[in-house]
């Protein structure tokens, strides 16, 4: 039963956003028990193919992928800041509608791991900005939770220190403050979503997520941002273009 419904979903016979018939109707249509239908739907839910919303309706999930090239950040530094940032612009280029919701922004003392990564004293004041990156039009789906941590002394009095969205992205705003993002070191892992992450991203228990940690340094080598991204794995394509394979010639 699960294989039959999976084929209908992956072939496009059941399009994204389409509601599935009720369990009773599916059981009658396929001449199986309601328990069989429930088991099949549980399999498809664990694979991220369907989702059940509050109220009980079950829908086919949108599995279209957002392509996120690393060069999206350099583009924010070379172009005039506009309404599209380093998430919404790639979403548009991927044929999707992207949006960003600021969940929280405030000053906190740096914990030990944050202090190590940002090369600041433990307990030093940092600005932590949490954002949800969404895809979709009428009912956007959260596909990333993005947490930026920035040394507070870099951004006092700037838009980054406020609670609102930073138009054009944090990199452009940091560059305007004289701290041009120049080098980045990124760690990428695939992990099972925690219960909290599963709730945020609307995932079934046991589904995988990308967990990304990136430290960005300015032109002087100072760490200026620690970024943690937790992203729905099946909707995210990370692209690292033109990476050097051999060292540059000396001199």
Whichever domain contains 232, its CATH number is 3.40.1410.10
**Which residue in 95, 131, 93, 126 sits closest to 109, CA to CA?**
126
Task: Find the domain containing 41 and state its range.
Answer: 2-60
Structural domain contains residue 122: yes
- Are residue 107 and residue 206 in the same domain, yes or no? yes
Band of pLDDT at residue 71, cut at 50, 70 and 90: confident
Q: What is the rounded distance in angstroms from the CA atom of residue 206 to the CA atom of residue 197?
A: 11
**Per-residue pLDDT for 75 more than 80?**
no
- Are residue 53 and residue 74 in the same domain, yes or no? no
What does the block give as tokens for 115?
């202090």
Rg (CA), the chain: 21
What does the block give as tokens for 231?
């992203």
- Are residue 22 and residue 123 in the same domain, yes or no? no
- Are residue 27 and residue 86 in the same domain, yes or no? no
Question: Which range (73-87, 114-128, 162-176, 190-204) has the least confidence?
Answer: 73-87
Domain termination site, one of 43, 60, 77: 60
β-bridge partners, 127 = 107, 150
Whichever domain contains 56, its CATH number is 1.10.10.10
- Are residue 16 and residue 82 in the same domain, yes or no? no
Structural domain contains residue 179: yes
Band of pLDDT at residue 233, cut at 50, 70 and 90: very high
- Are residue 108 and residue 204 in the same domain, yes or no? yes
Domain termination site, one of 60, 76, 108: 60
Q: Hey, CA dihedral for 11, 15, 21, 22, is it positive or negative?
A: positive
- Are residue 215 and residue 101 in the same domain, yes or no? yes
Question: Which range (52-66, 192-206, 231-245) has the least confidence?
Answer: 52-66
From residue 56, alpha-carbon distances to 37, 52, 169, 212, 222 in Å are: 15, 6, 38, 33, 51
Question: Which range (26-35, 40-49, 100-109, 215-224) has the least confidence?
Answer: 40-49
User: Are 229 and 145 contacting, i.e. CB atoms less than 8 angstroms apart?
Assistant: yes
Q: What is the rounded distance in angstroms from the CA atom of residue 134 to the CA atom of residue 136?
A: 7
Q: How many domains does the chain have?
A: 2
Structural domain contains residue 143: yes
Structural domain contains residue 159: yes
- Are residue 41 and residue 76 in the same domain, yes or no? no
Structural domain contains residue 247: no
The better pLDDT of the pair 91, 51 is held by 91
Band of pLDDT at residue 213, cut at 50, 70 and 90: very high
**Per-residue pLDDT for 88 more than 60?**
yes
Average pLDDT rounded to a whole number, residues 242-246: 80
Q: pLDDT tens, 4-18? A: 888 888 888 888 878
Question: For residue 70, with 0-12 CB atoms within 10 Å meaning exposed, 13-18 middle and 19 or more buried, which class applies?
Answer: middle
What does the pLDDT read at residue 209?
A: 96
What does the pLDDT read at residue 11?
A: 84
Q: What is the rounded distance in angstroms from the CA atom of residue 137 to the CA atom of residue 131?
A: 18
- Are residue 82 and residue 46 in the same domain, yes or no? no
What does the pLDDT read at residue 92?
A: 94
Domain termination site, one of 60, 91, 107: 60
Question: Average per-residue pLDDT in the chain?
Answer: 89
Structural domain contains residue 102: yes
What's the predicted TM-score (pTM) here? 0.82
Band of pLDDT at residue 54, cut at 50, 70 and 90: low
Percent composition of the chain: helix, strand, coil (DSSP 3-state, to 5): 30, 30, 40
What does the pLDDT read at residue 159?
A: 87
Concatenate the DSSP letters of all residues of 40-87 into one string: HHHHHHHTTSEEE-TTS-EEEPP-PPEEEETHHHHHHHHS---S--TT
Average pLDDT rounded to a whole number, residues 119-141: 93
Average pLDDT rounded to a whole number, residues 142-151: 97
- Are residue 25 and residue 122 in the same domain, yes or no? no
Q: pLDDT tens, 165-179? A: 887 788 889 999 999
Average pLDDT rounded to a whole number, residues 233-240: 92
Q: Tally DSSP H helices, then E strands, for the chain.
A: 8, 10
List of residues 6+ apart from 73 with CB closer than 8 A: 86, 169, 171, 181, 184
Question: Which range (63-72, 111-120, 185-194, 222-231) has the least confidence?
Answer: 63-72
Structural domain contains residue 210: yes
């Amino acid at each position: 039963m699960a294989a039959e419904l999976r084929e209908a979903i992956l072939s496009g016979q059941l399009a994204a956003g389409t509601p599935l018939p009720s369990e009773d109707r599916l059981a009658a249509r396929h001449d199986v028990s309601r328990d069989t239908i429930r088991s099949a739907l549980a399999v498809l839910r664990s694979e991220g193919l369907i989702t059940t919303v509050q109220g009980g309706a079950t829908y086919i999930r949108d599995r279209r992928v957002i392509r996120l090239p690393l060069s999206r950040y350099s583009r924010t530094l070379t172009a005039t800041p506009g309404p599209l940032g380093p998430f919404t612009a790639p979403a548009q280029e991927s044929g999707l509608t992207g949006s960003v919701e600021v969940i929280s922004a405030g000053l906190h003392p740096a914990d030990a791991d944050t202090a190590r990564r940002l090369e600041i004293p433990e307990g030093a004041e940092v600005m932590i900005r949490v954002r949800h990156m969404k895809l979709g039009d009428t009912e956007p789906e959260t596909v990333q939770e993005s947490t930026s941590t920035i040394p507070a002394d870099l951004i006092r009095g700037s838009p980054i220190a406020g609670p609102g969205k930073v138009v054009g992205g944090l990199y452009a705003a940091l560059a305007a403050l004289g701290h041009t993002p120049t080098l980045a070191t990124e760690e990428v892992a695939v992990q099972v979503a925690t219960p909290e992450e599963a709730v945020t991203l609307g995932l079934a228990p046991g589904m995988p997520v990308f967990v990304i940690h990136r430290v960005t340094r300015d032109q002087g080598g100072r760490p200026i941002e620690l970024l943690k991204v937790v992203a729905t794995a099946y909707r995210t394509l990370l692209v690292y273009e033109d990476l050097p394979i051999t060292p540059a010639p000396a001199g």
